Amino acid sequence: MTEEIKERIKKVLVRKLLQGLNPEDIQDDTSLIELGVGADSVATLEFVVALEEEFQLSIDEDEINPELLATVSNISDYISRRIKP
């Protein structure tokens, strides 16, 4: 399930923020900040909203921080904890 979550996150990243990349070009532990994620607060908010829609969950504003958005793995860990059955 974790790999599926990571692939979905990568697809959202490419759709919303990193249009020049393919999902398979993004490694799980690549620094998303170095790729430009988080540089634009409006784009970051759009990305978070897209994640909420993709995974049918609500991410509290207080939980959005650079550490959470640092890597696909960090985002995946967070989402995995939130959608646990």
Radius of gyration of the chain (CA): 12
Q: What is the tens place of the pLDDT at every residue in 5-29?
A: 999 999 999 999 888 899 999 999 9
Structural domain for 69, as ranges: 2-82
Q: What is the CATH number of the domain that holds 64?
A: 1.10.1200.10
Q: What is the tens place of the pLDDT at every residue in 56-72?
A: 999 998 999 999 999 99
**Total count of domains within the chain:** 1
User: Whole-prediction pTM value?
Assistant: 0.92
Tokens of 69: 């958005």
